[in-house]
Structure 1
Amino acid sequence: MRGPLQWVLWDVKDTLLKVRKSVGEQYCNEAKRMGLSLDPVEVEAAFRLAYRQYSSQYPNYGTSQGLNGHVWWMRVVQDTFSRCRVQDPALLNTMSHNLYNNFCNGENWEVFPDSKKTLERCSSLGLKLGVVSNFDNRLEGILQSCGLLSHFNFIITSEKAGVAKPNPAIFDQALQQCGSPAAHVAHIGDHYVYDYLTSRSLGLHGYLLDRENKHHHPDVPLQHRLSSLDELPSRLQQLD
């Protein structure tokens, strides 16, 4: 591929893959293994409250407060079940440990049908690929389990970087890895602020993936919108 574009950076969750079942379902399946019967709707609601609380009090897995992704997720899971009247400390510890490990497994993640072929197509255009994701350090193992890891030259998680999107510093780290100026780099993601606005503000070629037509932002021109990753390679070629 000729022209200035050299790299494509990728968000992961809800861009290349998604959780296969709802959190409520997966947590209830683990509880059932422990002999508990819980309501997935109630557990899902409890998880959302716990996740919101911990994200506010300990942003980016508490990396600046002495925590890490493992400890942070264990606490979120335990708080979720506690809100559903599970109080046994040993049981809470076992379930949180099991669920943390369960989400390392590719069986709990679903790769979107257009992901692999788009990554392959981008590579065939001579582009190098990297990951910039608000995710904990399990991401490399998840990508390996899902058969996607080999496509990427590097992976930057927010836990590893110590900063999370929309902080420009995580993109600065990615650009250092690329060894290219922002004008030679594209970024693809599903979040209007974290992925599109932030990358564009730094001079990258940002694209907003909107599979379900949820985003109605007049400042995102049609040529920056993707309803499917299938549309991406031809858009990138137009940058020549």
Structure 2
Amino acid sequence: MLRLRLLTWDVKDTLLRLRLPVGESYAAEARAHGVRVQPEALTRSFREAYGAQSRRFPNYGQGWGLSSQQWWVDVVKQTFRLSGVQEDRVLTLMAENLYRDYCSAGNWEVLPGAGETLSRCCQRGFRMGVVSNFDNRLEKILSQCNLLHHFEFVLTSEEVGFAKPDKRIFEKALRLSGVPPQLAAHVGDDYTRDYRAARAVGMHGFLLQATRQGTEPEVPPDHILPTLGHLLTLIEKG
């Protein structure tokens, strides 16, 4: 059995996922303002706008004088502009509405088995925290989805100033908990940002691969979670 005292968790696509593709949510918001845009076009435009903004102002504009709200409002406006919507007044309204809407459980759903797994981990006495490349809306989202009470701390890349795979966000989690890395494990769905980054600071890692085909060659089978429900079994085997 692995001797672990602390479990840290990624959130997006590990514990929570979007209820609808971004393009569908954005298209619904546009319809409410009398604007018709195809969801597929918005999905493509969002990828382009999000990618460009992330390269220009990484980690939600931290260090660039932007708030994460400004950062996201700019992404949303540019998404609509790339899809042919140009009227500034409507762009601002839609962007501010969507920023607010993505705070709520209406846009997020808990992944199958996540709530039960977190409860079982708490019952077994594990201390738990969140380490996520997310903006400062995350605590509110976790609260709305009835998951926040499982965690001692929630570390977002916006708050810490460093995004995974930067080791400093994991080191901060370890300092906050006072747990040495060899007694801690991180659970996430991204090989580079979650699994490899946690292992680089000496933590254990579990890689959720529910929707992926194939595995990274360096990941032993007993570090791979087909579902979150496998976690405690792997910890007890390890």
Which runs of 5 or more residues in structure 2 are unaligned?
A: none
Asked if the contact 2:167–2:197 (Cα under 8 Å) also holds between the matched residues in 1, the reply is: yes
One-letter amino acid matched to 1:143: L
Mark the CA change 1:82 to 1:181 in structure 2 (over 3 Å): closer, same or farther.
same
* Structure 2 CA distance for partners of 1:223 and 1:3, relative to 1, 3 Å: closer
Structure 1 residue runs without a partner (length 5+):
none
What secondary structure is seen at the aligned counterpart in 1 of 2:106? helix
Q: Say yes or no: does 1:36 pair with 2:35.
A: yes
For the structure 1 residues 225 and 123, does the alpha-carbon distance in structure 2 shift closer, same or farther, using more than 3 Å as the test?
Answer: same
Partner AA of 2:200 in structure 1: S
Counterpart AA for 2:100: N
Instruction: Name the structure 1 match of 2:151.
Output: 152
- The AA in structure 1 aligned to 2:147 is L
> Which residue number in structure 2 is paired with residue 133 of structure 1?
132
Structure 2 counterpart of 1:59: 58
1:116 equivalent in alignment to 2:89: no
1:90-137 CA distance string (max 9 Å, x none): 111100000000000101101112100000111111101100000000
TM-superposition CA deviations, 1:26-74 (whole Å, max 9, x none): 0000000000111000011000000000010010001011112111000
When residues 42 and 3 of structure 1 are mapped into structure 2, their CA distance, relative to the original with a 3 A threshold, is closer
Percent identity over paired residues = 44
**CA distance in structure 2 between the aligned counterparts of 1:180 and 1:212, rounded to whole angstroms:** 31
What is the aligned partner in structure 2 of residue 161 from structure 1? Answer: 160
Contact 2:2–2:235 under 8 Å retained in 1: no
SS in 1 for 2:175: helix
Q: Structure 2 counterpart of 1:95, which letter?
A: M
| CA distance in 1 between partners of 2:44 and 2:82 (Å) | 9
1:214, CA displacement in angstroms? 3.0
Shift of 1:216: 2.4
**1:46 corresponds to:** 45
Q: Scaled by the length of structure 1, what TM-score is found?
A: 0.97
Q: Cα offset for 1:233?
A: 0.9
1:124-157 CA distances to partner (integer Å, 9 max, x unpaired)? 1110110000000000000011010111010000
The SS at the match of 1:35 is: coil
- 2:73 paired residue number: 74
Q: Is the 8 A contact 1:208 1:225 kept in 2?
A: yes
Amino acid at match of 1:119: L
Tell me which amino acid in the other structure corresponds to 1:4. Answer: R
How much has 1:237 moved relative to structure 2?
2.4
2:9 maps to 1:10: yes
Aligned-partner Cα distance in 1 for 2:203–2:84 = 47
| 2:177 alignment partner in structure 1 | 178
In structure 1, C-alpha distance between the alignment counterparts of 2:138 and 2:83, rounded to whole Å: 28
1:162-198 deviations in Å (ceiling 9; x for gaps)? 0100000101111111111101111000000000001
Matching residue's letter, 2:35? L
Deviation at 1:215, TM superposition (A): 4.4
Paired with 1:21 and 1:77, the residues of 2 have a C-alpha distance of: 16
